[in-house]
Amino acid sequence: GQKVFEKTCMFIRDHDLDELGLEYVEVNLSPVQCMREQLAFEFKEIVEKYGVDYSRINLEITETASNEAKSILMYNVNKLYSHGVSFSLDDFGTGRLNFDYFIGLPVHTVKFDYNFTQSYFNDEKIKYIMNGIVTIMHDMGMVIVSEGVETKEQANHLKTLGIEYIQGYFYSKPLNQVDFIRFLKEGRQS
């Protein structure tokens, strides 16, 4: 995880994010990383080594990570947040989230898990649950990303539901760095 974070900081240093149409770059934190007491210190060293603006980084915490070592995670999150790092709650909808704990995290973005997104289109009960959660999240001032979108119809429907960002194969498969930059530049030209 640390190597991925370091490569991300190198990417941010070496590319004009504004020119690519990016506000920040998201990096997943593994549950193991979240349990490391030195996480905030180590990340701070890497950010400063590459001269990266903290606001250009968004760290994704998975629901499973947020339940593993709460006090260590909260310490690290608050320390990095105080420097300007933003946070997202990844894989929302996997069912492991403790809402009391969730409320204490300084997350501004919630990412609906692939299965949660797909279930919305196949299960009437999930549809009601997701509609309610979208309302609650928006009332709390949060932004929502829906992962796993595979068709134009799904993307359009989720947008009408009020979901701000759509992620999935409908837009692109995972790309290496060179192809990702090309994809961003071509998208800004069209």
Report the candidate in 186, 173, 184, 178 with the shortest Cα–Cα distance to residue 11.
Answer: 178
Distance between CA 58 and CA 46 in Å, rounded?
15
User: Average pLDDT for residues 17-37, to the nearest whole number?
Assistant: 87
The residue ranking higher by pLDDT, 98 or 61, is: 61
- 112 exposure class (CB count in 10 Å sphere: 0-12, 13-18, 19+): buried
- 157 exposure class (CB count in 10 Å sphere: 0-12, 13-18, 19+): middle
The residue ranking higher by pLDDT, 62 or 181, is: 181
Kindly report, residue by residue over 28-85, the tens digit of the pLDDT: 888 778 778 898 999 999 999 999 999 999 998 876 655 556 778 888 888 888 999 8
Q: Are 58 and 25 in contact (CB under 8 A)?
A: yes
**H runs (alpha helix) in the chain:** 2-14, 17-20, 31-34, 39-50, 63-68, 70-82, 99-104, 114-120, 124-139, 152-161, 177-189
Lowest mean pLDDT among 139-143, 173-177, 185-189: 185-189
Report the candidate in 39, 37, 92 with the shortest Cα–Cα distance to residue 66.
Answer: 92
Kindly report, residue by residue over 120-165, the tens digit of the pLDDT: 999 999 999 999 999 999 998 999 999 999 999 999 999 999 999 9
Kindly report, residue by residue over 77-94, the tens digit of the pLDDT: 888 889 998 888 887 766
User: Average pLDDT for residues 108-118, to the nearest whole number?
Assistant: 90
Whole-number pLDDT of residue 188: 65
pTM above 0.85, yes or no: no
